[in-house]
Amino acid sequence: MPCFNEEEVLRETAERLGEKMRSLIAGGMIADASRIVFVDDGSKDSTWDIIAGLCGGDDLYGGIGLSRNRGHQYALFAGLMAVRSEADMVVSIDADLQDDPDAIDMMVDAYLGGCDIVYGVRRKREKDSFFKRATAEGYYKLLRRFGCDIVFNHADYRLMSSRALGALSGYKEQSLFLRGLTPLLGYKTAVVEYDRAERFAGESKYPLRKMLALAFDGVTSLSLRPLRMITAAGAAMLVVALALFILMIVSLCAGKTVLNWKILLFSIWAAGGFITLGLGIVGEYIGRAYMEVKRRPRYNIDRTAGGVGSCADIEETG
């Protein structure tokens, strides 16, 4: 469970998920050694103090603290890699209590039925505002249009087997987009639908700006379609330029004004804007390739609580 400045909700989250875990253990669905692991993504409030307190009072809880804020995807990945050698299956869930913990029962059933990956998918978005619903649905449609193989209305609430996590560990890119990488693993999957609740407390850590940034990360890390679109648009502009040239020749032969100055001005501005946009997109891909070549660690573990992972498991090697 990645956490960033979640002091307002974390105790309630720990209590509810603790009850769920104990009921699963009592029902024989999961092992007695199963546990909840919090990943503190460089929080500035008392999130880590709460995690440390939970770990000190109950063996059910464990904690990992990153050295600085790296973002939701990196914190989630750090947690998955830290526990993958200790677990048969791992469920990732956010700390805001919006994802229904009761869906974990169905996820475990699907795992026991032979699935390596089980996606938690929102059943509906009736509680969202029109703007939130439109932007969220547009977000998934945009990613699919750009060639990203993602599960509609799925975020990062999922179950993964140790085999799937082992395969995921082989993906070394710096720009992590886990909801796009997971379908690439190719193992048997299932979908569990659930109703998403209102946030219990605190503020969302994924406003529109971050959602757009995540979508852009997904497109540029998984697809070359934007570059191909630039090529197609450039070819289309050449066709338009050729048509305008022919029109100019015809107008000259007919003794008419070559072209209205407004059309020429618009053409210049349109071409300049397209070239600038194209350079920006190409530059983004080059910049990402530059960061990949550096092979810097994606995160650093600062501290742990509750005896989570071995040193080999939690050291990030790039």
Looking at residue 235, its amino acid is: A
Rounded Cα gap, residues 210 and 17, in angstroms: 27
Distance (Å, whole) CA 108 – CA 135? 31
* 147: Cβ contacts below 8 Å, ≥ 6 apart: 222, 223, 224, 225
Q: Residues 6 or more apart from 120 whose CB is under 8 A from it?
A: 99, 103, 107, 154, 155, 157, 158, 192, 194
| Per-residue pLDDT tens digits for 158-182 | 999 999 999 998 888 877 888 888 8
Q: Which residues contact 28 (CB under 8 A, 6 or more apart)?
A: none
Residue 149 has pLDDT above 50, yes or no: yes
Q: How many residues does the chain have?
A: 318
The pLDDT confidence band at residue 117, using thresholds 50, 70 and 90, is very high
pLDDT at 72 over 80: yes
Beta carbons of 21 and 34 less than 8 angstroms apart:
yes
Backbone dihedral angles phi then psi of residue 128, each to the nearest 5 degrees: -75, 150
- Is 80 exceeded by the pLDDT of residue 220? no
Among 174, 177, 168, smallest CA distance to 292 is for 174
Tell me what pLDDT residue 110 has: 94
**What integer pLDDT is reported at residue 297 of this predicted model?**
76
190 or 249, which is more confident: 190
For residue 315, CA distances in Å to 70, 73, 178, 228, 300 come to 15, 17, 19, 38, 7
Query: Contact 96/202 with Cβ under 8 angstroms?
Result: yes
CA gap 198, 136 in Å, rounded: 16
Alpha-carbon gap, residue 32 to 303, rounded angstroms = 25
- Flag whether pLDDT at 259 surpasses 70: no
Right CATH for 2-134+151-206+298-314 from 3.90.550, 1.20.1050, 1.20.1070, 2.160.20: 3.90.550
Question: What is the reported pLDDT for 282?
Answer: 78
Buried/exposed 120-131: b ≥16 CB within 10 Å, e otherwise? bbbeeeeeeeee
Residue 196 DSSP one-character state: P
Residue whose entry in the numeric block shows the structure tokens 């790039």: 318
pLDDT at residue 61 in the model: 92
What's the whole-number mean pLDDT along residues 264-279? 74
- Evaluate if residue 24 carries a pLDDT over 90: yes
Range of lowest pLDDT (81-90, 113-122, 294-303): 294-303
Distance CA 67, CA 297 (A): 12
Q: Across residues 139-143, what is the average pLDDT?
A: 74
Predicted pLDDT of residue 276: 78
Across the range 223-229, mean pLDDT stands at 74
Specify the pLDDT at position 245: 73
In the chain, how long is the greatest CA-to-CA distance?
A: 92
pLDDT bin (cut points 50, 70, 90) of residue 51 is very high
Whole-number percent of the chain with pLDDT over 70: 81
Mean pLDDT value of segment 188-199: 85
pLDDT at 54 over 60: yes
Helix (H, G, I), strand (E, B) or coil at 200: coil
